[in-house]
Amino acid sequence: MEIKFVLDFDGVLFNSAFEAYSVANKAIEGNPAFRQDITYEEFLAYRAFVTDAWQYNRLYCREQSLPAQALHDFQPEERDWAFARDFFAAREVIMQDAEWPKVMPPYDFFFLLKPLLLKHPERFAILSTRNIQSIRETMAFHGADVVKIFGQEDIRRLGSKFAVATDQRWLDGGKWFVVYVDDMNSHLEPFEGQIHLPLHADWGYDNGTPCSLSANQVHTIISSLLTIAEKDRT
């Protein structure tokens, strides 16, 4: 059995909330059909329910907004996909600045984990609702673009983070011992009872629970399991 460490990006490796807020505001800048007064706090509260960029349309749109809790059951319309295209176009403009990743500071967890990422890249994967290019460029900026990335494109194609994990056969218990780290409880819930260790990061955006773990605790778990896995190889 091989061990695989699956990591969320936003809220686990990097604090990217302000970057997403900046991109969304740039995408709707000056357009009277959209609210121009969304505060960062309002954005953060809504973002906790967002799995795809089109959903921000239902926060910013003046006439057809939705409460965040309704997003899960709502089927996107063409106007939503149009917003997503504008969102990613705005991100591409922002990314033209070579130092744009500085707006997404790494968490301490990233610095703790980076030596292990570089030493054992095959043991890790990133599973995120963010688009792959922005993840890859951020990791490269910080000298750690070495692991396989599954992003927004994969989730749109397959339907969910859980579906991506299924497609990768990570849920095949006889083949993989999977540790999945995410800061969103809603993203972890489908994995409960399906993988060996779903771990909730207490340093991200969601509320902590009695089972939430600190960066040092998660790092200790990963380091210990890596040591065991490498011994089993020899």
Over the stretch 81-120, which tens digit does the pLDDT of each residue have? 999 999 999 999 999 998 999 999 999 999 999 999 999 9
C-beta atoms surrounding 108 within 10 Å:
12
124-127 and 2-7 strand pairing: parallel
Are the C-beta atoms of 192 and 198 separated by less than 8 Å?
yes
Which parts of 29-115 are beta strand (E)? none
Spell out the residues 6+ positions from residue 48 whose beta carbon is closer than 8 angstroms to its own.
Answer: 68, 184, 186, 205, 206
Q: Which of 31, 30, 28, 86 is nearest to 53 (CA)?
A: 86
| Residue 1: predicted pLDDT | 81
Token pair 């792959």: residue: 132
Radius of gyration from C-alpha coordinates of the chain: 18
Q: Is the dihedral of CA 64, 55, 141, 111 positive or negative?
A: positive
Cα–Cα distance measured from residue 47 to residue 118, given in angstroms and rounded to the nearest whole number: 31
Q: Taking all residues of the chain, what is their mean pLDDT, rounded to a whole number?
A: 93
50, 65, 74, 87, 94 from 70: Cα distances, Å: 11, 10, 6, 21, 30
Q: What integer pLDDT is reported at residue 135 of this predicted model?
A: 96
- Which secondary-structure segment (H or E) carries 4? strand 2-7
Q: Which pLDDT value is given to residue 4?
A: 96
Q: In terms of DSSP H, where are the helices of 96-203? A: 108-119, 132-141, 152-158, 161-167, 185-188
What is the model's pTM?
Answer: 0.88
pLDDT above 90 as % of the chain: 83
